[in-house]
Amino acid sequence: MKLVLLGTGTPNAEPWASFPAYAVIHSGNVFLFDCGAGIVRACTSMFYKGVNELKPQNLTHLFLTHMHSDHTAGLAELILIPWVLERSDPLHVYGPAGVSEMAEHLLAAYRIDTDYRNDGPQPSNPTGHHVLPQIVTEGTVYNKNSVRIEAMRGSHGELESYAYRIEADGKRIVISGDTAPLESMKTFAEDADILVHEAEYAAGLQERSEGWQKYHQSIHTMSYDLAEIINGARPALTITTHRILHLNYYGESPVSMEEVRRREDALLAEIQSRTSLPVKNGYDQNIYEI
């Protein structure tokens, strides 16, 4: 299997990290997890860097961890742009309750476009913009072509959220999605080859107001909590993503990249101070093969 980090950012719209999106590739089949804005361009960028599987025609399966906009704003482009680029297969979208309505409303919003392309002079196919939604619950959500994908309920406030475990050829990748720390993650990610997990900079959170501290601690995973999960699950490699650094992103002047890197390094150091197992910060366009 191959893991490609397409977007490792947050809702803060950081110029150095795209919105959340990941690709797992097995035997030519592409499985996308989350679809932040710009996902199609992120895939084509990797295609031009040699990841041949990520051409638009192959983008046919999407698994959403939850329905927050930073994880779903690219759904319209994932429905439409690969179709314009001659994808003929429909898009299979797996996600929490609400995914069917989201797809339906997006197609309605773009009906002028789809009607023109289907009925006008441009060569097109009538199926590539169709969406086949499937509501996710805990357990096996996909089991075909030697790939099994299982979902586990996360904890992201009142919002329904899921982690996914992808298994093929005796290898295992786990993607946490947005979640508070869970004991169940230790079992779900046990002995995974790769655990992709969100992380927050604990020292940075202390700079925020009491209200913001309480909020973040209730729906996200602090660095020290991630270390405890790693120690329990013992994955071969943990990759941090969706790193919340608690910067003042949009003050009077832009944040310096030196401060960004300092906080990213400090977050990683917080994790490493409580685990001896391998941990890395993940960045856009990183590729991992197992």
Say how far apart CA 79 and CA 25 lie, in whole Å. 19
- Return the exposure string of 15-31: e unless at least 16 CB atoms fall within 10 Å of the residue's CB, then b: eebbbbbbbbbbeebbb
CATH code for the domain of 166? 3.60.15.10
Please give the residue range of the domain that contains residue 155: 2-289
State pLDDT tens for residues 219-258.
899 999 999 999 999 999 999 999 999 999 999 899 999 9
How many domains does the chain fold into? Answer: 1
pTM: 0.97
| φ/ψ bin of 27: left (φ > 0), alpha (ψ from -120 to 50), beta (otherwise) | left
State pLDDT tens for residues 181-215.
999 999 999 999 999 999 999 999 888 888 888 88
Burial of 43 (0-12, 13-18, 19+ CB in 10 A): buried
Q: pLDDT tier at 217 (50, 70, 90 boundaries)?
A: confident
Say how far apart CA 29 and CA 25 lie, in whole Å. 6
Residue 242 CA: distances (Å) to CA of 20, 71, 88, 130, 282: 7, 11, 32, 30, 9
State pLDDT tens for residues 105-129.
999 999 999 999 999 888 889 999 9
